[in-house]
Structure 1
């Protein structure tokens, strides 16, 4: 249950991540710096937010399409890696900088971002329920066999 709450709060706060500076702040502990191609600046320009886990310090998540990538190599290009794995991401297809968007354009983008968020949360909940059903079935089978 705690994992779902962390997931929910993290993705809900992503509405603030249209701002370049807000995304940049998340890369304080990013393991790659100037001697690599995936610097914090390039990661931010590609729409990523640094979202490390205990076992994966280089996890980056797009604030918009929520794709999570890890296992970065120093010569990886963040924009092309993002585009390769999520070619229809609304952030990648934006025609202008966030600061130049009209209110209507922003709300349409945010509507699309929230659809992605809701879809991801629903898929995670369905997977949780499937796992719960599988566990319950195993318990019932073992009770019937005894």
Structure 2
């Protein structure tokens, strides 16, 4: 994976995150407007069942069940305090190359962690199924 491909870095920019909020259920008279969501690092990742799912492009934390008064930045910090993007002290455009590379390294750690956890979950589910089959077979059931 090329950490510095255009696809990999485009969500660092507010405008690109904001574009994902088409169809976002909260617009006016809310704290969780598309602008505030994008500012807090979120991209809109709706599903058929949940139109208000948003995920941090950086730490990959998904949040749903938004209320109009929810503050996206506070929610992000409380649910993912180790996210380096939400704790940035400067704008992405002001980062030095060295700071950006360090940030990309941290983002990669989140991706590896999430991928690893998903793989472990799939393995554990497969083990449960296989164990049930073995027990069933050993008891003479087919």
Q: If the length of structure 2 is used for normalisation, what is the TM-score?
A: 0.91
Taking the TM superposition and a 5 Å limit, the aligned residue runs for 1:59-70 are 59-70=53-64
SS across alignment from 1:94: coil
Match of 2:136 among 132, 137, 142: 142
**Partner residue in 1 for 2:4:** none
SS across alignment from 1:61: strand
- The C-alpha deviation readout for 1:43-67, integer Å capped at 9, x for no partner, is 0111101011111100010111111
Contact 1:59/1:68 (8 A) holds in 2: yes
Asked if 1:29 corresponds to 2:23, the answer is yes
**Partner residue in 2 for 1:50:** 44
**Partner residue in 1 for 2:125:** 131
> CA 1:48 to 1:14, structure 2 compared with 1: closer, same or farther past 3 Å?
farther
**Partner residue in 2 for 1:83:** 77
Contact 1:51/1:59 (8 A) holds in 2: yes
Task: Name structure 2 gaps, 5 residues minimum.
Answer: 1-6
Residues paired across the two proteins, number: 134
User: Aligned partners of 2:96 and 2:124: how far apart in 1?
Assistant: 42
Alpha-carbon distance, 1:16 to partner: 2.0
User: Aligned partners of 1:99 and 1:69: how far apart in 2?
Assistant: 26
Alpha-carbon distance, 1:15 to partner: 3.4
Contact 1:50/1:61 (8 A) holds in 2: yes
Match of 1:116 among 90, 110, 114: 110
**Partner residue in 2 for 1:7:** none
User: Aligned partners of 1:14 and 1:72: how far apart in 2?
Assistant: 27
Larger-gyration structure (1/2)? 2
Q: If the length of structure 1 is used for normalisation, what is the TM-score?
A: 0.88
Alpha-carbon distance, 1:103 to partner: 1.1
Match of 1:105 among 99, 104, 116: 99
Higher helix share: 1
> CA 1:14 to 1:71, structure 2 compared with 1: closer, same or farther past 3 Å?
farther
Moved over 3 A (4+): none
